[in-house]
């Protein structure tokens, strides 16, 4: 079999996140001692060439591949040239399936930054048997959703086993700090999920199932806590409010537990929320957060209001936070773990950029590089076999090291 021409192909390179990812890879790989063959792809040759020119010397010899997200013939030609395809073309529920299908059928490894639970579940159900046969390793959620959460729990469990020889069977993640902006792509994805759920009662039921992404027959029965209102959390001595990304992150973490043979325990519990502070001020902030989130979701469900939000409040597709906002952004996630016999530990995961874009671009880039480098030896795939994996089950300590050295994340015990 002929070796692929490229280790990595960035598909959707001219999208908002795609451009961030492309610039990050160009800068990162230019300073690496080892070489990596890569290319950028998208549907517009003119826009791809504009992106190349914007990279200066780094983009001068960067190959481009023209392929439309809905054209399977073009996607097959793309996959024939790639060891790993990293996709930024969303909303994935609208545009993502053809590429996943072709990657699975061709045995091409794939990663993306989706946080769309309902779409991930459909892809697993439709394509995982074929991925196991072809050897394609598919890993969704390689951005802010859900790398910090999934790898944060993995890191905490490594600490627990090292110290006590047993996992922390009860874990909480609390978002202490988040500073950044939103893009039109993220807004479009959220709107699409809410619209789908509003039209499909079975989907609404599925979306509130904490084990929605776990394999059939997982056997988990532990009742999971769902933070849906203002609460006081004794483990953090502070008030908390719902975290919108818990909807995907919690399900990814539970899938990681299932795929790793219940490594966190068969009665493992996990929930996420936002820390709003202590005392009356913290309670009022939690209540305001709940009210704001409720108003946002209600607005999306009402057609005329949704139209006004899209026109005047939400960024347009292709728009997002400025480079200055991305650079000034940051986040701080705190994890609390407890073993069955009551022993506790805490860790934190921090990032040095806007979480959804500046930091996501770096995390996604390192996920693609890890797939192409760490999980391949002498042109042969090593590690996990074909299938649909999570970041914490496909990657390992080398990914933590990559994120720490090259993506501005820190994983620390506190």
User: Are 82 and 8 within 8 A, CB to CB?
Assistant: yes
Which tokens sit at 15?
């999208």
Q: What is residue 121's predicted lDDT score, i.e. its pLDDT?
A: 96
Q: What is residue 405's predicted lDDT score, i.e. its pLDDT?
A: 95
Please tell me the distance from the alpha carbon of residue 126 to that of residue 163, in angstroms, as a whole number: 41
CATH architecture classification, 6-144+357-408: 3-Layer(aba) Sandwich (3.40)
Q: What is residue 339's predicted lDDT score, i.e. its pLDDT?
A: 98
Q: What is residue 35's predicted lDDT score, i.e. its pLDDT?
A: 79
Q: What is residue 310's predicted lDDT score, i.e. its pLDDT?
A: 72
Please tell me the distance from the alpha carbon of residue 147 to that of residue 207, in angstroms, as a whole number: 20
User: Are 97 and 69 within 8 A, CB to CB?
Assistant: no
Q: CB neighbours of 125 closer than 8 A, spacing ≥ 6? A: none
Can you tell me which residue has the tokens 């005047």?
312
Please tell me the distance from the alpha carbon of residue 186 to that of residue 150, in angstroms, as a whole number: 20
Q: What is residue 34's predicted lDDT score, i.e. its pLDDT?
A: 63
User: Are 94 and 62 within 8 A, CB to CB?
Assistant: no
Q: At what angle do helices 147-164 and 397-406 cross, to 10 degrees?
A: 120
DSSP code string of 294-326: HHHHHHHHSHHHHHHIIIIISPPTT----HHHH
Q: Is the peptide bond before 107 cis (omega within 30 degrees of 0)?
A: no
DSSP code string of 232-257: EETTTTEEEE--TTHHHHHHHHHHHH
Of the candidates 252, 255, 254, 256, the residue with the CA atom closest to the CA atom of residue 268: 254
Can you tell me which residue has the tokens 């517009």?
44
Of the candidates 368, 347, 364, 387, the residue with the CA atom closest to the CA atom of residue 17: 364
Of the candidates 243, 215, 249, the residue with the CA atom closest to the CA atom of residue 231: 243
Q: What is the dihedral of CA 345, 226, 331, 117, to 10 degrees?
A: 120
User: Are 118 and 145 within 8 A, CB to CB?
Assistant: no
What is the reported pTM?
0.94
User: Are 253 and 146 within 8 A, CB to CB?
Assistant: yes
Residues of the chain with pLDDT under 50: none
H or E segment to which residue 50 belongs: helix 45-54
Which tokens sit at 28?
């990162």
CA distances from 4 to 40, 76, 379 (A): 15, 13, 9
């Amino acid at each position: 079999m002929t070796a692929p021409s490229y280790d990595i192909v960035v598909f959707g390179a001219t999208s908002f996140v795609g451009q961030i990812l492309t610039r990050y890879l160009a800068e990162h790989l230019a300073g690496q001692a080892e070489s990596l063959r890569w290319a950028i792809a998208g549907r517009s040759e003119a826009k791809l060439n504009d992106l190349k020119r914007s990279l200066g010397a780094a983009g001068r010899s960067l190959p481009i591949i023209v392929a439309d997200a809905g054209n399977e013939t073009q996607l097959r030609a793309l996959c024939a040239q790639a060891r790993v395809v990293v996709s930024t073309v969303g909303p994935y529920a609208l545009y993502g399936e053809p590429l996943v299908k072709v990657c699975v059928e061709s045995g091409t490894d794939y990663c993306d930054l989706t946080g769309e639970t309902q779409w991930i579940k459909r892809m697993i159900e439709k394509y995982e048997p074929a991925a196991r046969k072809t050897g394609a390793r598919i890993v969704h959620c390689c951005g802010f959703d859900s790398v910090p959460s999934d790898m944060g729990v993995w890191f905490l469990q490594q600490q627990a086993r090292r110290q006590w020889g047993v996992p922390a069977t009860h874990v909480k993640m609390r978002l202490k700090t988040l500073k950044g902006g939103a893009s039109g792509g993220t807004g479009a994805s959220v709107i699409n999920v809410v619209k789908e759920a509003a039209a499909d009662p079975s989907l609404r039921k599925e979306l509130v199932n904490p084990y929605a992404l776990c394999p059939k027959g997982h056997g988990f029965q532990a009742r999971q806590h769902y933070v849906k209102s203002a609460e006081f959390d004794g483990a953090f001595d502070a008030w908390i409010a719902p975290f919108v990304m818990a909807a995907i992150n919690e399900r990814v973490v539970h899938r990681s537990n299932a795929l790793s043979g219940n490594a966190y325990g068969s009665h493992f519990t996990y929930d996420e929320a936002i820390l709003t502070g202590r005392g009356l001020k913290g309670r009022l902030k939690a209540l305001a957060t709940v009210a704001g989130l409720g108003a946002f979701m209600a607005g999306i469900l009402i057609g005329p209001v949704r139209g006004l939000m899209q026109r005047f409040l939400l960024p347009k597709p292709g728009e997002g936070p400025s480079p200055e906002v991305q650079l000034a952004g940051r986040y701080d996630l705190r994890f609390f773990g407890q073993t069955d016999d009551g022993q506790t530990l805490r860790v934190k995961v921090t990032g040095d950029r806007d979480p959804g874009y500046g930091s996501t671009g770096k995390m996604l880039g390192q996920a693609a590089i890890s797939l192409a480098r760490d999980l391949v030896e002498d042109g042969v795939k090593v590690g996990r076999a074909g299938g649909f994996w999570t970041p914490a089950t496909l990657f390992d300590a080398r990914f933590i090291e990559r994120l720490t050295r090259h993506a501005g994340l820190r994983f620390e015990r506190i």
